[in-house]
Amino acid sequence: MSVATADAQATFAATLVDEWVRAGVTHAVVCPGSRSTPLVLALADRDEIELHVRLDERGACFFAVGLAVATGVPSVVCTTSGTAAAELHAGVVEASHAGVPLIVCTADRPPRLHGVGAPQTIEQSNLYGGAVRWFFEPGPAERDDTAGWRSIGARSVVEAVTGAGPVHLNLAFDEPLLGTAGPLPEGRAGGAPWAAPAARPSIPVDIARDVELWGRPGVIVAGGGTPVPPMVLEVADRLGWPVLADPRSGLRIDHPAVIAAADAFLRDPGVRDALTPGTVLSLGGPWASRIVGEFLADAVAAGAEIVAVNPSPTVDPDRVKHQVLRGDPVELLEALAGAPVAGQAQWRERWEQIEAAAQGAIDKTLDNDPLSAGGRASEPGVLRHLLADLDAAHTLVVASSMPIRDLEWFGAPRANPPRVLANRGVNGIDGVTSTALGVAAGVGGPVVAVLGDLAFLHDVSALVPVGDATGSCTLVVLDNDGGGIFSFLPQAGALAEERFERLFGTAPRVSIGEVARGFGLPVADVSTLAELDEALGRFVGVPAPSVIRVALPSRTDNVALHERIHRAVGESARSVLAG
């Protein structure tokens, strides 16, 4: 291969990056590797892009997910060829199911090196299958064939944004990999991108005129995954409906309509029957709660209709949605705010009374229970405390498994809550630390991440320091000596204890604190909420990662505490209904 062709590769890579800059991309994540040199150097040459270097590709992709979630803008992740490209797959799948825009760039060997046993060469065409919104493989760059270069860069952004998910560019680079970029192909005037995403369409407002649909007693379910406009609360007041607010929706705030304890009081069959709605307006993704999902499915079986706005049509595990409307919900909400219906005042008052009683029961149980009395740390108590303690200046990243559920079930409404993020695309514990570090690098403010001990150890390579600090990120590790969520499942009672522990409990034989200190991170070991506050005061805002290990009651005790809270909430709700 000639030096002129090496220069063509450098020019091609620089053209892609120029289009990304024109489209507003500001962050890229790269891992060390040789074959990706042309693109890595092109990214490093642009001051408009903040370049993040990560050690391993799996964590790098989740880091890029965190960046894109934090900023709302596609981020670029670039790797070398071979297993490096395969390592991205878990993060690509999470981005796909969570609707996170990513531009995934895998370097590859040229065609002549495929099928002959060349090192670090695997089949990378369509490597991620249906998980990407667009796959393109332009082949080796040629200096006399530059006409489509800008469209490739621009289309990668358009497809990621409009498709709300990852795209994959598999880029063949040949040696020599070090070239000099020449003049770039001419771009659009005024620095505009070659192509740009169209504005998100509005939802047709005709449905707002259906007086019978919106005049019934109903509920609004505000989930995560897409921004939920604050106007929802105005609509709730107009219709006389409660808002079941997932913490990720941004609406778990002090407002009469907001319901936070739904999972706990809807566990009671009598309460559930008394609160069966006739219409459900669902915004964003579903709650993690199985109980809330069953409540909605039961409502549909009883004749309710569900109108879902903005979720993916595939997010309907119970197959209960009647209408799925995709687009910007603002015009629909504006129409509903003026809907010609009589508000269901008594209906919502019942929900408000049960919510108030439920929150009181949660507080009373946590204050008096032997496992959490005196401010002793418990899993429900820590998540409830953090949502109450952190404000809008903070971002709270919550792991799947139990932390997101405990936050959803026990986090009370409050004024000025923190932004809450979580990897809920595939609902796994993979890459939580990497995602949190990516969020910290993107938001510019302090991040607190809550994760279990297994989730922490699963992504421990993310703690390897590479380059500059990535922002303030405090990892609150809930140490219950294993997989806590499994203790809530039938396996815990059906299997002998030794077998259950070996196959599901999987207690790690390492010290969380020693692992973190081994990476040079500051660590605090706490067992009370007061000690947690003191550690947060020391670590939050410091521009570097830190770890707070929270010693917790046993997994068996944790299940028992949850049961006592749910029982107390159910009793309080029944008392309200008994009047």
Residue 403 has what pLDDT? Answer: 95
Query: Rounded CA gap, 33 and 84, in Å?
Result: 9
pLDDT tens-place string over residues 523-559 = 999 999 999 999 999 999 999 999 999 999 998 899 9
Residue 360 has what pLDDT? Answer: 98
Residue 320 has what pLDDT? Answer: 62
Residue 290 has what pLDDT? Answer: 93
Query: Rounded CA gap, 481 and 509, in Å?
Result: 9
Residue 312 has what pLDDT? Answer: 55
Distances (CA, A) of 444 to 131, 410, 546: 30, 28, 16
Residue 338 has what pLDDT? Answer: 86
Distances (CA, A) of 568 to 22, 201, 267: 56, 46, 11
What pTM, to 2 d.p., does this model score?
A: 0.93
Smallest Cα–Cα separation from 504: which of 561, 579, 454? 454
Residue 395 has what pLDDT? Answer: 97
Residue 380 has what pLDDT? Answer: 96
Q: Mark the ranges of the chain whose per-residue pLDDT is less than 50.
A: 313
State whether CATH 3.40.50.1820 applies to domain 372-552.
no
Residue 2 has what pLDDT? Answer: 60
Q: How many CA atoms lie within 13 A of 274 on its CB side?
A: 22
DSSP string, 393-420: TSEEEE-TTHHHHHHHHHPPP-SSPPEE
Distances (CA, A) of 502 to 122, 454, 491, 511: 36, 14, 12, 18
Query: Rounded CA gap, 259 and 385, in Å?
Result: 18
State whether CATH 3.40.50.1220 applies to domain 206-355.
yes
Give the Cβ contact number of residue 494 at 10 Å.
9
Query: Rounded CA gap, 429 and 458, in Å?
Result: 8
Residue 220 has what pLDDT? Answer: 97
Residue 211 has what pLDDT? Answer: 87
DSSP string, 529-547: HHHHHHHHHHHTTSSSEEE
Q: How many CA atoms lie within 13 A of 460 on its CB side?
A: 18
Query: Rounded CA gap, 57 and 80, in Å?
Result: 9
The encoded tokens of residue 182 equal 């020449």
Query: Rounded CA gap, 77 and 85, in Å?
Result: 10
Instruction: Give buried/exposed letters for 110-127 (b at 16+ CB in 10 A, else e).
Output: eeebbeeeeebbbebeeb
Orientation of helix 330-337 relative to helix 231-239, angle to 10°: 30
**Structural contact between residues 60 and 79, judged by C-beta atoms closer than 8 angstroms:** yes
Domain boundaries, the chain: 3-176, 206-355, 372-552
**Fold assignment, 3-176:** Rossmann fold (3.40.50)
Contacts 24+ apart (CB under 8 A), 142-145: 142/5, 142/8, 143/4, 143/5, 143/7, 143/8, 143/11, 143/182
Same-fold call for 206-355 versus 372-552 = yes
**Structural contact between residues 313 and 324, judged by C-beta atoms closer than 8 angstroms:** yes
